[in-house]
Structure 1
Amino acid sequence: MNNKIPPPLVTLFFGSCIYFSKSYFVEFNFQILNILSFLSFILGICILMAAVRSFKNQNTTINPIKIEKASSLVVSGVFRFSRNPMYLGMMFI
C-alpha cells in the first residue's frame, strides 16, 4: 500500500471544508444537536486514545505511512471490536 497523505491530515482537511462551508446551508439550531455533536466528538477522542494506547502497549508504530516499522499485529483493546478504530474515531470527530 502506498499512502502519500496521512489520514489525520485528510480528516483535518475535510473537517475544515465542512466547518467553513456551513454558511452555505440552512442552520438548524436545536439544543439536542449541540449535545449530540459534543458527545460524538468526545466518543471519537476516546476511541482514538484507546487505539493509540493499544499500539503503545504492543510497542508498535501508529504511523500508517511507514508500515515496515510495524512490529506486531494488534488484536487487543479496541481492536477486538474494530479493525480500524483510528478511522472510526476520526469519523466520530
Structure 2
Amino acid sequence: MQTLELKIPPVILVLFTASLMWTLAVAVPSLGFTLSASPLVALVFAATGIAFALLGVWEFRSAGTTVDPRVPNQSVSLVVRGVYRISRNPMYVGFLLVLSAWVIFLSNLASLVLLPAFVIYMNRFQIVPEERHMREKFGESYRQYEAKVRRWV
C-alpha cells in the first residue's frame, strides 16, 4: 500500500470526496435530513475551514518551506508557530471542515459516511508518511512538537 503514500494531492482528494458525497446524496435521497439554517451553518463551517487551511499555507510560505505535501523532503524548516500551535495539520483540518460544510449543505446522511473515510485515508497515506519524514529530518525537535500538538485538533 505504500504506492499510494503521498501520491494524490490533498486538494484533488477533497474534490473527489466532495463529488462522491454529492453522488451519494443524489443516489439515496431517502437519507436526506432537515437542519434549520443549514446554509448558514454550512457557510460558517466552510469559512472556518478555508481560514484554517489558508493560515497553514501562510505560515509555511512565511517560513519559506514547501506547501506541496507530496514532497516532504523539500521541507526546509519545522513550522510550529501560529495555527501550527493548535494542529500539526491545519490545512487538512480546514479541508475536513469544508467537507463537513458540504455534508451540511447536501443535508444527506449518506454523504456523511465519507468524512471518516477521508480522515482514515489522510492519516494513512498522507500524514503518517509526512510525519515519518519530519521525524527523520528534524529529529528531536519534531518529536517534542509531536508530543505537544495533536495531529488534527
In the superposition, the TM-score normalised over structure 1's length comes to: 0.90
Query: Which residue of 2 is the match for residue 47 of structure 1?
Result: 52
Query: Which residue of 2 is the match for residue 10 of structure 1?
Result: 13
**Mean CA deviation greater in 16-25 or 60-69:** 16-25
Mind listing any 5+ residue stretches in structure 2 that lack a counterpart?
99-153
Residue identity matched to 1:88:
V
Among all aligned residue pairs of Structure 1 and Structure 2, give the percentage whose two residues are the same amino acid: 31
**Mean CA deviation greater in 6-15 or 79-88:** 6-15
CA distance in 2, matches of 1:89, 1:25: 27
Cα shift at 1:29? 4.0
Q: Which aligned runs of 4 or more in structure 1 are off by greater than 6 angstroms?
A: none
Query: Which residue of 1 is the match for residue 87 of structure 2?
Result: 82
Cα shift at 1:54? 0.3
Matched ranges for 1:12-51 at <5 A: 12-23=15-26, 24-26=28-30, 27-51=32-56
Residue identity matched to 1:64:
P
CA shift digits 1:12-62 (9 cap, x unpaired): 101111022212233334442221111101111100110000001100001
As a proportion of its length, which structure holds more helix?
2
In the superposition, the TM-score normalised over structure 2's length comes to: 0.56
Mind listing any 5+ residue stretches in structure 1 that lack a counterpart?
none
Task: Say which SS state the counterpart of residue 37 (structure 2) adopts.
Answer: helix
CA distance in 1, matches of 2:35, 2:70: 40
Query: Which residue of 2 is the match for residue 60 of structure 1?
Result: 65
Residue identity matched to 2:29:
F
